[in-house]
Chain A
Amino acid sequence: MVFTRCVRGYSWPFNYRLLLIMKLAIFLTLGLAFNALAEANAQKITLNVKNAPLGEVMREFQKQQGCSFLFHGKHLSDIRVDAQLRQVEFAEAMDMILTDRGLDWSLDDGIVTITKRNSLPSNSEHILQQRTITGKVTDEQGNPLEGVTVTIKGTSSAVTTDANGDYRITVSQRGGTLVFTIVGFGSAERMIGDLSMLDVAMTASVSDLNEVVVVGYGEVKKRDITGSVASIKQSDLKAQPINSFDQALQGRVAGVQITQASNAPGGGITIRVRGGNSISASNDPLYVIDGFPVTNPAPASGASHSAIFANPLASINPNDVESIEVLKDASATAIYGSRGANGVVLVTTKRGKEGKAIVEFESYYGIQQITKTLDVINAEQHTMLKNEQLRNLGYDERYGPGLLYPDPSEYGEGTNWQNEIFRTSSIQNHQLSFSGGNERTKYLISGNYFGQEGIVMASNFDRYTTRLNIDSRLSDRVNVGTSFTISRTINNSVNEVGGNGLVGLALRYSPANPIFADDGSYQLLNVGPGSGFSAIANPVAVAKTTTNVLITDRVLANVFADVAIAKGLVAKFSVGTDLFNSKRDIFYSPETLLGNNVNGFGSNGNTNNLNLLNENTITYKKTINGHDFDLLAGITFQSNREDRTYMEAQDFPNFTLGANNLGMANTPLPPRGTVQEWGLNSYLSRINYRFKDRYLFTITGRVDGSSRFGVRNKYAFFPSGAFAWRISDEDFLRDSKSLSDLKLRISYGSTGNDGIGLYNSLSQYTTARTVFNDIEVLTNEAARVANPDLKWEKTNQFNVGIDVGFIKNRFLFTIDYYEKITSDLLLNVQLPATTGFTSVIRNIGSLRNRGVEFSLNTVNTTGKLKWTTNGNISFNRNKVLRLADAEELIVSSGFNTLIVKENEPLGSFFGNVFDGIWQSQEEIANAGEVARAGDLPGALRFRDLNGDGVFNEAADRTILGNGLPDFFYGITNHFNYGRFDLSLFVQGVYGNQIYNHTRSTLEQGDPAHLLLREVYERAWRPDRPSNRYSSMRQWRWPNTTSNFVEDGSFVRLKNVTFGYSQPINSKFLKSTRIYISGQNLITISKYSGFDPEVNSNFDDNVSYGVDSYAYPLARTFMLGATFQF
């Protein structure tokens, strides 16, 4: 007898009571009445009959399913059966009715077949209606595999293996087929038959093409991807001292350049996916965390001298991350429309799996140290140089017997301020997680603490996070779930950049200062009145007496429901919120020069950012004769409101309470506040069409309406199309022994960049205060001119890529070529002052990024020693094609001058060429006006580039270098031998320049600041000429000069991890893994500063690779362990 389910059949084995489910769907749509689901146990059977014909009983079953069955095999339908069922599962009910009558049933792809049992069971175990299969899953070498999903084919019953590779699954009497899947291995299928034990050795595959990859608003099998998508697994994130997940992408993904802009704990990074598209809008990719496109709100404001570059993504716990996908080409990113142009980073967090509860404790502890210090002069040398300068200037010396200050020799070594502020510091991470679930509900709960002390004193970062991810199958048609995380980060920071940053102070303050003055208070002045040293603050005093703390609380929560409406048709609804609140307290006590002039100052800054998201999508899958369709349509709404307040006060009669009680101050400044909102309404659609599984097409479109755009340009449409051809599936290649995969991908599409700030299309007036006759009055004046035409920047991207796999995909190579043209570039165009404004933001100009990315994943050896290699290298060329008003824009970064010029890459350093030192009066006289007015022997000499016989700072400038690399790369080698594993990660960039602004004080011929030892030794003196360092005077340095441009290439042994895993079969503990790891172990570079990985202008797109007293890099050694209970 064969029942064939006829109605609108579903891919599920059991489908019942369509109408009820429809109602459920509606309830869910409204986000109401989840308790209504109590009545949803539709698949349960209730029946009480005696001696009824099987056919009748089956019909009653059908009725209770709300579905009619076709009826075959009439000869069996007359068998009389008894049934006393009350809310029994279908499968159980079938077993109960049939087993006694010597009948078997099976279910395969929605077809229930009832047959006569051929042989009676030989042992009693078979009489049981259900039985248990156990087994062990190992790799080819026999090592147990943990986390293998074991599914009964055709059902949703699944379990996962434990740390010993063991699993235990209950199957129906009939058995069936077990499917074993795990990332990194080919899936395996085994018939159960009569077996009660089933061990499986799985074959490693470098890349399982059936592996599912997360893409925008959905998932797709790797084999079906038409775009350029890179995927990082959780294993790549492990054993690295990272405080935010984006750091883990460094060197791992072709085309993604990551620069740790600030090495301060919790500090910001600069990330560029396939080069920077934008000059003045954001260049950051869109981060989508569990489907929620998050924004990265600016942290709360702080008083002056408190610049920090906090990374808002540091509020997400990287240990919770399961995988990260980077969408790079337009085919992949166009579904994110006006936010897709800079690439999209999809973060998927871990979720519970069916099976026994897993308790896992992970922990690491490490120490960090600075990799390098700069060789600077000591106190004696500094005071001697000051005397030398005063002599050169024709003034009296100030250091010597009977003079203002003691003789240089009395100062001796003095204080080494670098040693005073740098320290060995700790880093630690502890995480406890619980996960598990049954076939209906799965959960993951985790709690994490991460703590990092900075290598600069007084800086540290703590994060506390909890996560709760739940998935629940309410019925066969309805799944609901949530991703929920709460975090608090406490970023105790120091002013990170510039001369008044803590590192800047340590590199400028004279070693002739003690930490403490004679009276025990902190040394306040730079040596003292008339010392001739710049008025800067004592770095240790600043570190010890200053408060600079940023506290961020973030709740990122998303609830979703997906409802199967009909076969292949699924509606998904989600509502999410991202609540991001931060508070910043700054306090500078009068014990430092920075706070002394106003007798202490402090501030409280608050931000409250609420981001709301509603997404409604429908997907439909259909297969007709080798034509596969996958359709997606959706409407989403997102809105954001940010409230900011700021208070500052000065003159604290008592500074013990710091910034906790600003009301104590005698001089409160007027408070400030602002509110900003933005909204985004989007309509999106995607069609995936596959013909014969070999010809793959993707068409994507999104319409974004954005509040940020000017009134004349509210809506934008972003389409893309892609084609992929699985050549290896063609007949002529299918049988190839060596070539296991060959796919060609081509895509073209358009995406936008809406990171253009808020309200920028509107004119703005700002209020402030001024004073008349000592009385404050309000002022209000124009601050920005309107631009109703303001719109997104548009990037059109062409991508062609080839994926090749050899020998069952043991060797996989991917190469992509892309060309991106960004037009309607937003530029803060400098305006003539006659307009009343200095600049305006306008959509002008275009630029191009094009490049080649190459990545490989190989399994080099598979025997006892397993060795895999993952590597990538990326070449990107950036060129400005057009600027509207002028051929070039000269931009000041605050540290140097840059030029944006047609046919040149973004962010070229622009300045004068240092040409050595004038050696003699005669030489100066002969040079005419190439020598600057007032030049003497020992003065700086600059090249007259335009050859007009005059050196002119403005006219004689040229491009001196660029912060963008020729290429960057990363390579990871992973070795496994028995229980030992070793991974080596090397990463680097090549061909970029750094503007070492730090040297502008350390190298100038003016001992007002601290100088390098080399300057002391080699400065120009009449008897000891130098062509490198000027005489001790104070020669005027132009803003940007060639001698501070350095080669920024480096190659770094970024991470080495050596681990040992031990399965333990005790009741209490299942397995452990212990590892040691080193980060930033070796760096090979010609760079003279602390570290070549530097970007003091953080997210400035034009100024890339400037080092202005940047917070230096740490070398980290750590010990970690994972225990599974």
Chain B
Amino acid sequence: MKKIIYVIVYCITLVFLSCESNLEETPLGFLEESNSFITAEDANSAISAVYHRLRGVYGMNMINLADLNGDECEARGESALGNELHRNLFNSGTAIFNTFYTASYVLIDRANRVIENVPKVMMDEQERMMIVAEARFLRALTYFNLVRAFGDVPAVKQVTNDVIDVDISRASVDEIYALIIEDLTVAETDLPLNYMEADRIGRATSGAAKALLAKVFLTRGEWHNAAGKAKEVIDLGVYDLFPDYRSVFLPEEKNGIEHIFSVQYSCALPQYGSSMAVNFAIFFSYPINQGGGSYQVTPRHAESYIPGDYRKEVTVIYEKRRADGSVVESRTGPHMDKYWDPLACGPSSARNNFIVLRYADVLLMYAEALNELNGPTVEAYWAINKIRERARNGNSGSHLFDLQGLTQAEFREAVLQERSWELCFEGHRRWDLLRTDTYITKKTAGGVVAEEKHLLYPIPTIQMDVNSALVQNPGY
């Protein structure tokens, strides 16, 4: 009897001892912040996630914000979004603004987590600094997009762990630029010139930080600094123009000599693909695609090319020869062919990277900055004519001559035009027009009502709803 009582007591004790552990919640299927930053591989996984977030900002989102809203690109057919953005009919409820805003800040938070946690990881000191610098580069790039799109935006520099007090007001444009410049200054020092490991090619480099700095300075009107940074990139000796303009966009040439920084897409799996190829394609030029294809070149842009400009051949098409040899005609006017990928892996999935910074852009920035500083100098002509030379593609009959003897204003206009031919549909146009203060005139010339309020995009309604500290941009 006593024995049995002992056994009972023993068993009950066992049950009670084990019962507290029944209430502990230890994640078995996922990681937490505390165990996500231990090894060098962890640090790399964390920074890779930040890069991955770029896909929510670039791709068609950037095309929509920068190109569709510019004067080179329009959406034909049956797209409401296209109409709203191209014709300035958008409002704060237009979904893309929230998509873009949210994707940007999520990226910034993930970058902040890398900046905060990676320094604690036991790993090679240089690699650690490099990863932090990458995060700062990506954060700077994202703020640069935000500030250009919305003007004043909240400045988030730290990891958010306490989500109780979340109302953050907009910091001034100057504050945001100070943050951007600080980040990029660190990044240009700590980032490598290039990567040797195959699976790191595509990550941010010192050259990318410098090129972005050049663009930031240019946007700020700091011509001297802009020219300086652009020159630094040129002098790195790492980058050059592809001899053939078409190579810039060939999926096979991605991460090539001219590419300074690109958002990485791939057909390793369809979900890694980009959708620019399909969206710009003539209807049904891809075998099974029925949708898409509504992004087109405005006739004004298509007709703006000088005879003998090879870039028009690469960029503007009216018909497409399919893989099987049949020809699909455009029924709706000029289409854009830069992103054509014959080996697209899905209806909205192709191999094209989204090019954020490339050498041609740097050359044109250099020319622009020099011209603003001192008028069209020899160096400035060198830079722009290097672009035009490639654009002639060896065609001696081309009317795209080297520039010379322009006034400062003419040169300014020439650079803007050159950027349009060279960089159209690559996510630049709206920002270029805003920077050069030509947005309203160019849009108006394209037959679209553009007013002062359109110089900034509206803060998305949803964000206004959840953050009472936000104030809407005027006019929305």
Which residues of chain A have a CB within 8 Å of any CB of chain B? 23, 26-27, 29-30, 393, 395-396, 524-526, 529-531, 533-535, 593, 596-598, 614, 637, 639, 650, 667, 669, 673-681, 705-708, 714, 758-759, 761-768, 770-783, 785-786, 830-838, 840, 886, 890, 932-934, 952-954, 1006, 1008, 1034, 1036
Contact = CB atoms under 8 A, between A and B. Distances in A.
A765 B113 CA distance: 11
Contacts of A680: 22
B327 interface: no
B44 A837 contact: no
Interface in B1-46: 1, 4-5, 7-8, 11, 15, 19-25, 27-33, 36, 41-42, 44-46
Contacts of A681: 19-20, 22-23
Interface stretch (B101-109, B208-216, B382-390, B438-446): B101-109
A932 B15 CA distance: 69
11 contacts: A637-B15, A681-B23, A765-B30, A774-B351, A830-B465, A832-B466, A834-B467, A835-B109, A835-B166, A837-B106, A890-B462
B347 interface: yes
A773 B264 CA distance: 7
Given A674-B28, A681-B19, A774-B267, 18 more contacts: A26-B8, A29-B11, A530-B284, A533-B290, A534-B290, A598-B270, A705-B22, A763-B161, A770-B49, A774-B266, A777-B48, A782-B113, A786-B161, A836-B105, A836-B112, A953-B91, A954-B461, A1034-B78
Interface stretch (B197-205, B233-241, B360-368, B428-436): B197-205
Nearest to B78: A1034
Contacts of A705: 19, 22-23
B272 interface: yes
Nearest to B26: A677
Nearest to B161: A785
Contacts of B80: 1034, 1036
B32 A650 contact: no
Interface string B35-64: 010000110111011111100000000000
A765 B109 contact: no
Contact of B203 (A650, A765, A772): A772
Contact of A759 (B25, B268, B470): B25
Nearest to A764: B30
Contacts of B163: 785, 831, 835, 837, 840
Nearest to A389: B78
Contacts of A761: 25
A890 B460 CA distance: 14
A775 B49 contact: no
B116 to A, nearest CB: 11
Q: Which of B24, B159, B166, B466 has the most CB of A within 10 A?
A: B466
Contact of A773 (B20, B44, B199): B199
Given A396-B331, A772-B264, A775-B268, A597 B50 contact: no
A450 B57 CA distance: 52
A833 B102 contact: yes
Contact of B22 (A531, A639, A840): A639
A831 B166 contact: yes
A902 B21 CA distance: 40
A771 B198 CA distance: 11
A693 to B, nearest CB: 37
Determine which residue in A529, A758, A832, A886 has the highest number of CB atoms from chain B within 10 A of its CB, and name it. Answer: A832
B163 to A, nearest CB: 5
Given A675-B29, A832-B463, A535 B161 contact: no
Contact of A707 (B25, B50, B156): B25
Contact of B199 (A30, A669, A678, A775): A775
A535 B291 contact: yes
Contacts of B267: 774
Contact of A782 (B33, B290, B461, B467): B33
A531 B203 CA distance: 43
B269 interface: yes
A637 B254 contact: no
A706 B24 CA distance: 8
B340 to A, nearest CB: 17
A990 B163 CA distance: 41
A780 B254 contact: no
A397 to B, nearest CB: 11
B303 interface: no
Nearest to A932: B89
A400 B53 CA distance: 47
A838 B104 CA distance: 12
A886 B466 CA distance: 8
Q: Which are the 3 A-B pairs with shortest beta-carbon distances?
A: A836-B109, A674-B29, A679-B22
B46 A780 contact: yes
A933 B351 CA distance: 37
Contacts of B4: 23, 26-27
A781 B31 CA distance: 9
A762 B32 contact: yes
A759 B113 CA distance: 21
A676 B28 CA distance: 6
Contacts of B21: 679
A838 to B, nearest CB: 6
B265 interface: yes
Interface in B130-182: 154, 156, 159-161, 163, 166-168
Contacts of B42: 780
B110 interface: yes
A934 B108 contact: no
Given A764-B27, A770-B264, A953 B93 contact: yes
Interface centre among A766, A774, A838, A890, by most chain B C-beta atoms within 10 angstroms, is A774
B92 interface: yes
Contact of A832 (B48, B50, B166, B200): B166
Contacts of A835: 105, 109, 160, 163, 166
B160 A535 contact: no
Given A598-B270, A780-B42, A834 B49 contact: no
Contacts of A775: 198-199, 268
B87 interface: yes
A722 to B, nearest CB: 30
Contacts of A762: 25, 27, 32
A567 B22 CA distance: 35
Contacts of A530: 283-284, 331
B21 to A, nearest CB: 8
B161 A834 contact: no
Nearest to B52: A770
Interface string B242-280: 000000000000110000000011111110100000000
A782 B109 CA distance: 9
Contact of A933 (B89, B198, B465): B89
A633 B101 CA distance: 56
B290 A525 contact: yes
B89 A836 contact: no
B33 A765 contact: yes
Contact of B49 (A598, A677, A780): A780
Q: B49, B51, B83, B104: which has the most chain A beta carbons within 10 Å?
A: B49
A679 B26 CA distance: 11
Given A639-B22, A830-B465, A772 B45 contact: no
B465 A773 contact: no
Nearest to B271: A669
B341 to A, nearest CB: 13
Given A767-B31, A768-B49, A535 B284 contact: no
Contacts of B83: 934
Nearest to B25: A707
B346 interface: yes
Nearest to A398: B331
Contacts of B1: 23
Nearest to B90: A933
A642 B167 CA distance: 38
A774 B467 CA distance: 39
A669 B93 contact: no
Nearest to A1033: B78
